[in-house]
């Protein structure tokens, strides 16, 4: 499996739009891209397995969370490597995800939806 060795991913600014995708209408993909408002798109890390219809969240400057709803799998992405995360209770098509921050204690909750 290809792996990324480029540390430029850690330089994404907090106020930039952070988008990660590898969606194809026809075939699952291994490739991704980072897109911001004020810089050219750049190659992102290779995914741990071919997928489409997934979502990717930046939790903080050193941790991302990848959710592949169709397969019901998740991964943590840190230090440019993926490690297996929790299994979803239900598989989901058209996966969407987001973060909720609890103001009282700063906890971050990952929300996953889909059909």
How many CB atoms within 10 Å of residue 68?
24
Tens of pLDDT along 40-95?
888 878 899 998 888 888 888 888 899 999 999 999 999 889 999 999 999 998 88
Considering only residues 16 and 70, tell me which one the structure prediction assigns the higher pLDDT: 70
Choose among 36, 39, 91, 90: nearest CA to 58: 36
- Round to whole Å and give the CA distance between 87 and 46: 21
Using only the alpha carbons of the chain, give its radius of gyration: 14
Q: What are the distances in angstroms from CA 48 to CA 67, 106, 107?
A: 11, 30, 27
What is the residue-averaged pLDDT of the chain?
A: 79
What was the pLDDT predicted at 10?
52
């Amino acid at each position: 499996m290809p792996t990324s060795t480029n540390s430029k991913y850690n330089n994404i600014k907090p106020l930039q739009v952070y988008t990660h995708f590898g969606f194809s209408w026809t075939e699952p993909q291994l490739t991704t891209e980072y897109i911001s408002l004020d810089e050219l798109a750049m190659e992102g890390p290779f995914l741990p397995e071919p997928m489409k219809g997934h979502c990717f969240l930046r939790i903080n400057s050193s941790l991302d969370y990848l959710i592949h709803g169709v397969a019901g799998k998740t991964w943590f992405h840190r230090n440019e490597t993926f490690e297996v995360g929790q299994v979803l209770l239900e598989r989901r098509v058209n996966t969407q995800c987001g973060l909720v921050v609890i103001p009282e204690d700063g906890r971050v909750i990952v929300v996953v939806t889909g059909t």
